[in-house]
Amino acid sequence: MALPLLSYSPKSQNQRVAAYEIPGDEQPRIFTTDNLLSSGDMDNLIEAAYRQIFFHAFAWDREPALESQLRNGQSTVRDFIRGLLLSKTFRNSFYEKNSNYRFVEQCVQRVLGRDVYSEREKIAWSIVVATKGITGFVDQLLNSDEYLSNFGYNTVPYQRRRVLHSRNEGERPFNIKSPRYDAYYRSQLGFPQIIWQNEIRSYIPQERKARAGDPSLYAEMARSIAPQSNPVPRVSAQNIDYLSRVPRR
């Protein structure tokens, strides 16, 4: 018998505040199959889905079968997102490298496009992961009213209301706020790595940089010449007999 989802109270977040949206460059771009005009638009939609779920997909991480089904209309965007969440790459990179609480937090961010409301929500979804597994957890997220009302079957999830017009800076992206590995696995992999350089490069403004013909450009060449000084004579000039040394004519 599956346990019901533990109740939790929503928290005031940006995406829950109704406001008049003004289009701008910082607004998230919405990728949906409702207004595709060319095959290039489908490529952009697939890349956006990979960025949302994996942050970056290498050639090894891509799912050709899922892409083919989406291109041919055999599946929806929601099915494609489900396939990425249940893929081997997502399992190895997120589920096996994190605790259930952190895994729930990352899935809520990537699927529902928001932060978790509280620790109680983490516990509620962690119980679903423990009782129904990853498949049941992903299905319950994608079947939730919050996901269907915001993204439906044809829209790629995105971070909702990241930028507010009343603030100078918006919220940080999820991939920066919640990296793929937690602190334990980052330490096992040797991150963060501190690289010390032997030479410290200082910034020189453009107007203060030496131009062609500047003598400072030839300072190193002048130092490499290393001219030899005149040797000190061993015999004093006062003890030399000049008259005997001058030849007669």
Whole-Å CA distances, 109 to 42, 58, 112, 177: 23, 21, 6, 10
Q: Cβ neighbours of residue 71 under 8 Å, at least 6 residues apart?
A: 39, 42
pLDDT at 182: 66
* Between 142 and 195, residue with greater pLDDT: 142
Tell me: pLDDT of 219 over 90.
Answer: no
Q: How confident is the model at residue 48 (pLDDT cuts 50, 70, 90)?
A: very high
Q: Which of 53, 23, 41, 11 lies closest to 151 in space, CA to CA?
A: 53
Helix 119-142 vs helix 100-107: angle between axes, to the nearest 10 degrees? 60
Q: Answer yes or no: is pLDDT of 95 > 70.
A: yes
Separate counts of helices (H) and strands (E) for the chain: 11, 0
The mean pLDDT of 169-185, rounded to a whole number, is 71
DSSP state of 191: -
Mean pLDDT to the nearest integer, 147-165: 87
DSSP state of 104: H
Mean pLDDT of the region 113-141: 92
Q: What is the dihedral of CA 111, 114, 119, 124, to 10 degrees?
A: -30
CA–CA dist 185, 182 (Å, integer): 6
Residues 162, 143: Cα–Cα separation, whole Å: 24
Residue 57: φ, ψ to 5°: -115, 120
Query: CA 169, CA 238: separation in Å to the nearest integer?
Result: 86
Mean per-residue pLDDT, 123-145: 93
pLDDT tens-place string over residues 49-60:
999 998 888 888
For residue 248, the model assigns a pLDDT of 65
Helix then strand then coil, in percent of the chain rounded to 5, is 50, 0, 50
DSSP class of 208: G
**Structure tokens that stand for 99 in this block:** 């605790």
Q: How confident is the model at residue 111 (pLDDT cuts 50, 70, 90)?
A: very high
* pLDDT at residue 199 tops 60: no
Q: Which residue has the higher pLDDT, 201 or 66?
A: 66
Write the DSSP string, 137-165: HHHHHHTSHHHHHHTTTTB----TT---T
| Mean pLDDT of all residues belonging to the chain | 81
The reported pLDDT for the residue numbered 237 is 64
The pTM (predicted TM-score) of the whole model is 0.68
Confidence of residue 19 (pLDDT cuts 50, 70, 90): low
Q: Which CATH entry fits the domain spanning 14-188: 3.30.1300.10, 1.10.3130.20, 3.40.50.300, 3.30.110.30?
A: 1.10.3130.20
Q: Give strand pairing partners of 42.
A: none
Predicted pLDDT at 25: 63
Delimit the domains of the chain by residue range.
Answer: 14-188
What is the model's pLDDT at position 233? 63
